[in-house]
A and B are shown apart, each in its own frame.
Chain A
Amino acid sequence: MSVFVGDAQADRVVPPTGFTARLTLFAAGAMAFLTVFALALSLASGRLAVRWGDELAQSSTLRISAPSEQLQAQTILALRVLESTPGIASARALSAEEQRGLLAPWFGPDLPVETLPIPQLVEILETEEGYDAAGLRLRLAAEVPGAVLDDHARWREPLERAAGRLRLLGWVSIALIGATTAAMITLAANAALAANAQVISVLRLIGAQDGYIARAFVRRFTVRAFLGAAIGTFLGAGAIYLLPEAQDEAGFLTGLGFVGAGWFLPVLIPPIAGFVAYAATGAAARRTLRGLS
Chain B
Amino acid sequence: MIELDNIAYSYGGGELLSEISLKLAPGSFHFLTGPSGSGKTTFLKLCYGALVPTAGTVQLFGKDVRDMDRDDHAMARRRIGVVHQDCQFLDHLPLRENVSLPLTVSGRDSLEQNTNLKELLHWVGLGNRASALPPELSGGERQRAALARAVIMSPEVVLADEPTGNVDWEMSQRLLQLLVELNRMGKTIVIATHDMNLIRSAKNHVQTRVLRISNRKLQLAGADL
Contact = CB atoms under 8 A, between A and B. Distances in A.
Interface in A202-255: 202-212
A199 B134 CA distance: 14
Counting contact residues on chain A (CB < 8 A from B), the size range is: 20 to 34
A13 B153 CA distance: 18
Contacts, number: 58
B117 to A, nearest CB: 12
B71 A210 contact: yes
Interface stretch (B84-92, B125-133, B196-204): B84-92
Contacts of A90: none
Contact of A201 (B73, B88, B102): B88
A15 interface: yes
Contacts of B75: 207
Contacts of B73: 204
A207 B77 contact: yes
B74 interface: yes
Given A9-B97, A9-B110, A12-B97, A206 B105 contact: yes
A135 interface: no
Q: Is the interface of A mostly helix, strand, loop or mixed?
A: helix
A205 B77 contact: yes
A12 B97 CA distance: 9
Given A9-B104, A15-B92, A201-B88, A207 B78 contact: yes
A13 B103 CA distance: 12
Nearest to B71: A209
A291 B102 CA distance: 23
B77 A12 contact: no
A199 B90 contact: yes
Contacts of A198: 88
Contact of A207 (B90, B93, B153): B153
A16 interface: yes
Nearest to B89: A202
Contact of A205 (B70, B71, B84, B92): B84
Contacts of B88: 198, 201-202, 205
Given A201-B88, A205-B84, A13 B93 contact: yes
Contacts of A13: 90, 93, 101, 104-105
B105 A203 contact: yes
A10 interface: yes
B108 to A, nearest CB: 10
Given A15-B92, A204-B77, A212 B105 contact: yes
B29 to A, nearest CB: 22
Which of A10, A198, A199, A209 has its CB near the most chain B CB atoms (within 10 A)?
Answer: A209
A16 B89 CA distance: 16
B82 interface: yes
B18 to A, nearest CB: 22
B99 to A, nearest CB: 10
Which of A13, A15, A207, A210 has its CB near the most chain B CB atoms (within 10 A)?
Answer: A207
Contacts of B71: 209-211
Contact of B101 (A16, A206, A209): A206
Given A13-B93, A199-B90, A202-B89, A207 B104 contact: no
9 contacts: A9-B104, A12-B97, A13-B93, A202-B89, A202-B101, A204-B74, A206-B149, A207-B74, A209-B70
Interface of B: 50, 70-71, 73-75, 77-78, 82, 84, 88-90, 92-93, 97, 101-102, 104-106, 110, 149, 153
